[in-house]
Amino acid sequence: MSQTAPTFPIASNRANIGIWVAQVLGAAAFIMPGVMKLTTPIPELSAMMPFAGEYSSGFVRSLGAIDLAGGLGLLLPSLTRIMPRLTVIAAGCCVLLQILAILFHASRGEFYALPVNVIYIALALIVLWGRGRKAPIAPRA
């Protein structure tokens, strides 16, 4: 029994470029705060993000690692074409992470942070839809 390679829909060049833009912006949106949460001293970080001074440094550093992993997941599997389906999984996880971030910030009365979370969700949803349905990346042969 022979196996056939999976077929992928052909997306327009503009759609593919738009999805790549969302991937790069989304990756930057997750990687930058991730690196900041991982490397900035907690007292300095708490001046920018009040919650950082109110929770354990382990919690804050873990959030940084999660942000960093999400950002890298939005980009690297598609760029390398090594298991590019991981980009779709990362995008779904980034949406979930931002929903939890909205709940966290809202519970603390930090409503000023919510528009940023909504933008991050929008970028991750574009990647989720784009790489999941519109213009999937074929794995390396």
From first to last of its 141 residues, the chain has per-residue pLDDT tens of: 556 555 555 668 899 999 999 999 999 999 999 999 999 999 999 999 999 999 999 999 999 999 999 999 999 999 999 999 999 999 999 999 999 999 999 999 999 999 999 999 999 999 999 999 999 999 998
- Secondary element (H or E) of residue 128: helix 114-129
Radius of gyration of the chain (CA): 17
Q: 42-82: per-residue pLDDT in tens? A: 999 999 999 999 999 999 999 999 999 999 999 999 999 99
Q: Is 90 left (phi over 0), alpha (psi -120 to 50) or beta?
A: alpha
3-state secondary structure of 49: coil
**pLDDT the model gives residue 101:** 97
Q: Please enumerate in sequence order all residues whose Cβ is within 8 A of that of 13, keeping only pairs 6 or more positions apart, or say none.
A: none
pTM for this structure? 0.89
The domain locations on the chain are 13-134
Q: Please enumerate in sequence order all residues whose Cβ is within 8 A of that of 136, keeping only pairs 6 or more positions apart, or say none.
A: 8, 9, 84, 85, 88
**pLDDT the model gives residue 9:** 57
Residue 53 and residue 15: Cα distance in Å, rounded? 42
Q: Residues 34, 100, 43, CA angle at the centre, nearest 5°? A: 45
Residue linked to tokens 């990687």: 31
